[in-house]
Chains A and B, each alone.
Chain A
């Protein structure tokens, strides 16, 4: 009987934790974000580097979650911004107006058995011809229903990363001073 209980506990542990390496989903642009960019003007914008030095990696119950863009979450944020600008018809790699930045916080937490949480914070800098026109820190928090079962909680947390970035960029685009700096 003791062997059965031990096997049951092992199976239970396997259901709530695993130890493989996962990839965050490719970014999917947000249409409301894209429309905010379209409404704010038509000047072309380039995207510079977003660094994410010294940030700890994201771990989902023992599984590491990696960025599909150059294995860097800074590169993920840059790519997300690039996609939003492209969909809005405002991406111009040669533009003198450039957005760059630093990722300060970045985490997906699925350790809870009922609620998963996402948290991100980044410093955004807009330069025109080398002169800084905008520099501010923006953050976003998201929550979703999670699960005791790892096979449910882990992929759910994995999927939520793209949404977390959408919310962060929504915060940025809602800032009129940011939009003014892109003109």
Chain B
């Protein structure tokens, strides 16, 4: 009986502790700066994201010894596209970073590939949703021939306390992703090398 009890306890522990809880960090893009025509960068750009990044799952710490898992690129991709559309005069999604036919056909000046590094933590020992989240975003920008042009990097931070995230467990992640997108929009608009 003692063995049975031990096995049962281990099963419960395995089921309830140390879980990687799924969450979605898709940000709200309503806060994107509306860029007027003369402030926009008058260039068309290609957006490229490798398929393996599109399905990449990342696991980072949550609270109470648990972890959280999410797809940073898939979750933020639409927001990144909308942000690029607000900064440049046109955006084309490319199948590969050196898709010469699409680059020429669409008159693209630059190819932009985002890179994300995320982390999370929690000050709570009792609840699993992260109370703090960071999204470090770098846009690798090359010209139409593949030569590096710029690589602006920003760090988005998001915090959420229990009273807030009890209705949205992903809140700190969404806030961090939104912060990164807004900062990247400002960084791209301020980059003189992209206006040459």
Contact = CB atoms under 8 A, between A and B. Distances in A.
| Chain A interface mostly | helix
Interface in A109-152: 147-149, 151-152
Contacts of B11: 8, 12
B16 A149 contact: yes
A34 interface: yes
A5 B4 contact: yes
A148 B19 CA distance: 10
A42 to B, nearest CB: 13
B24 A159 contact: yes
Interface stretch (A24-32, A44-52, A69-77, A172-180): A24-32
A25 B12 CA distance: 29
B21 A8 contact: no
A152 B19 CA distance: 7
Among B5, B26, B78, the one with the most A-chain Cβ atoms within 10 Å of its Cβ is B78
B9 A8 contact: yes
Contact of A15 (B16, B21, B47, B74): B16
Contacts of B47: 31
B8 A8 contact: yes
Nearest to A9: B8
Interface string B62-94: 000000000000100110010000000000110
B147 interface: no
A57 interface: no
B22 interface: yes
Given A149-B19, A152-B20, A31 B78 contact: yes
Contacts of A155: 21-22
B12 A151 contact: no
Contacts of B77: 31
Contacts of A5: 1, 4-5, 8
Contacts of A9: 8
B5 A156 contact: no
B5 A25 contact: no
Interface in B68-125: 74, 77-78, 81, 92-93, 95
Contact of A28 (B5, B8, B9, B26): B26
27 contacts: A1-B1, A1-B5, A5-B1, A5-B8, A8-B8, A8-B11, A11-B12, A12-B11, A12-B12, A12-B15, A15-B15, A16-B15, A28-B78, A31-B77, A31-B81, A31-B93, A32-B93, A35-B93, A38-B92, A148-B14, A149-B16, A151-B16, A152-B19, A155-B21, A156-B22, A159-B22, A159-B24
Given A31-B93, A35-B93, 6 more contacts: A4-B5, A12-B12, A12-B15, A151-B16, A151-B19, A163-B74
Interface of A: 1, 4-5, 8-9, 11-12, 15-16, 25, 28-29, 31-32, 34-35, 38, 147-149, 151-152, 155-156, 159, 163
Closest CB pairs A-B (n = 4): A35-B93, A8-B8, A15-B15, A156-B22
